[in-house]
Structure 1
Amino acid sequence: MFKRLAAAALLAATVVPATVVHAQRPSPPPGPLLSGYLCCNMRTYGNSISDINYDEQGTSIVAVGTPARITGYDFRWFNLDLAGKPQRIKNDYSRNITLIDFAQRYVVTEDPKQKMAAFPPAVRDAIVAGKVAPGMTREQVLMAIGYPVASENPSLDAPTWRYWRDSWSEYQVSFDGKGLVKTVVGDPVALSRVLAPTP
């Protein structure tokens, strides 16, 4: 009996406790730390920006063409320096795009303001104000109000882009066969915020 108890005690002393393994979220592959310019007008909540780009109370616009430098990548967002201020842009609704491709949508190597200098004054004014006007090109719409989220707009060649002013208010920008804005449709509040006044 004593031998059996001693053997059991020895066995218990030599059993290695199971190692607890904690799940970790996958790290994205490191991407290029690009320097360039913000592609488009984006709304920040202070230090973070979402790809949905809601026009909500408490947000402020970071202007198209703001000097931008990507400083790192983390899961669904990338970190960047925008004119000396730290920000992060989160991929909330465009997850069918890789994080690196997503980042390269927003940080572009060619200064949009140089392109804007060649646009008609009314188009430049609309872009600066974050508004859309009939006759604008797809590129000009992107500069003014950002990319439509990829979950609802898988192709930028589609004739209509769906945007959201907030969680309840959708508006749509439709293009003609030449790729120029034909109509902007939405509820009155959304249109008052996004549609440029007719000269």
Structure 2
Amino acid sequence: MSTRQRFPVHRGLLLAATALLAASAAHAQSTFNGWLCCNMRTDGGWISEINYDSARRVIPAGTPVQITGYGRYRVHTLMNGEQQDLGNDYSREIDMGAFAHRYVVPYNPQRRLRAAPPAVQQAVRASRVRLGMTREQVAMSLGYPIANETPSLDNRVWKYWRSSGEEFHVIFNRRGVVESIRSDDPDLRARVTAR
């Protein structure tokens, strides 16, 4: 008796489960349009989620984005018509579909920013943080903290880097607004804090 004859139901279930998983993965990593959630730095064609200062230029929050596909730990996009790969370099425990939805949002964040006080608007445009900003405003300004260092966005402390050796922390109070910005390097703290 062949394997097919002995296990016809199991093979059918396996094929159905495989098809369901493939459909689920395709849905989770779908292509869609939206807006860039946050100010993100690019070297010209690559954006790392860690958002180091060394990248050539900033693509501002609210830039129109079209997701065109996925690669290994990267989301292929057109940002305002320009090809950019968004790299999941440090948050690999986040599913790529969820990662894409974190950075490409269904609303233009610039509209929400217009409701903020002028000093907060200016800080976000300058990719800086200031006391009293909300979590959403900090993310819009600096990008999201990497998940392997800040596993939950509800954490009181969000860890960031401006380069591999320049770490700083944004600390939120119970209401979810910035109460302090900390770094061992006073120059770094001054560079990331809005005046």
Specify if TM > 0.5.
yes
Residue 169 (structure 1) aligned with residue 166 (structure 2): yes
TM superposition score normalised by structure 1: 0.83
Q: Please identify, of 115-124 and 182-191, the stretch whose mean Cα deviation from structure 2 is larger.
A: 182-191
Aligned to 1:68: 65
The alignment yields a C-alpha RMSD, in angstroms, of: 1.4
TM-score (norm 2): 0.84
Name the SS for the 1:165 alignment partner. Answer: strand
Q: Pairwise mapping of residues 93-132 of structure 1 onto structure 2 (< 5 A)?
A: 93-132=90-129
Cα deviation for residue 51 of structure 1 reads: 0.8
| SS in structure 2 of the partner of residue 95 of structure 1 | coil
Q: Does 1:53 align with 2:51?
A: yes
The reply on whether 1:149 has 2:140 as its aligned counterpart is: no
Match of 1:19 in 2: none
- Unpaired segments ≥5 residues, structure 2: 1-21
Pairing partner for 1:85 from 82, 86, 102 = 82
**In 1, Cα distance between equivalents of 2:146 and 2:136:** 15
Q: Distance in 1 between matches of 2:188 and 2:162?
A: 6
1:188 aligns with 2:183: no
The superposition leaves residues 39-89 of structure 1 with CA deviations (integer Å, 9 ceiling, x where unpaired) of: 000000110000111111x52100000001100001100100000100000
Cα distance in 1, alignment partners of residues 182 and 170 from structure 2: 7
Partner of 2:159, secondary structure, is strand
Shift of 1:192: 2.5
Partner of 1:9: none
- The structure number with the bigger radius of gyration is 1
1-side partners of 2:32 and 2:116: how far apart?
27
The separation in 2 between residues aligned to 1:47 and 1:71, in whole angstroms, is 14
Distance (Å, rounded) in 2 between the aligned partners of 1:107 and 1:193 = 27
**2:39 is aligned with 1:41:** yes
> Which structure has greater helix proportion?
2
Tell me how far apart the structure 1 counterparts of residues 85 and 67 of structure 2 sit (CA, whole Å): 9
| C-alpha distance in 2 between matches for 1:127 and 1:73 | 29
Q: Which runs of 5+ in 1 are unaligned?
A: 1-26
Name whichever of 80-89 and 30-39 sits farther off. 30-39
Deviation at 1:190, TM superposition (A): 1.9
Identity percentage of aligned residues? 46
One-letter amino acid matched to 1:171: F
Q: For residues 139-197 of structure 1, what are the alpha-carbon distances to aligned partners after superposition, in whole Å with 9 as ceiling and x for unaligned?
A: 00000000000000001111101001100010000001111100001112322321001
Deviations 1:104-128 (A, max 9, x none): 1000001001101111111101100
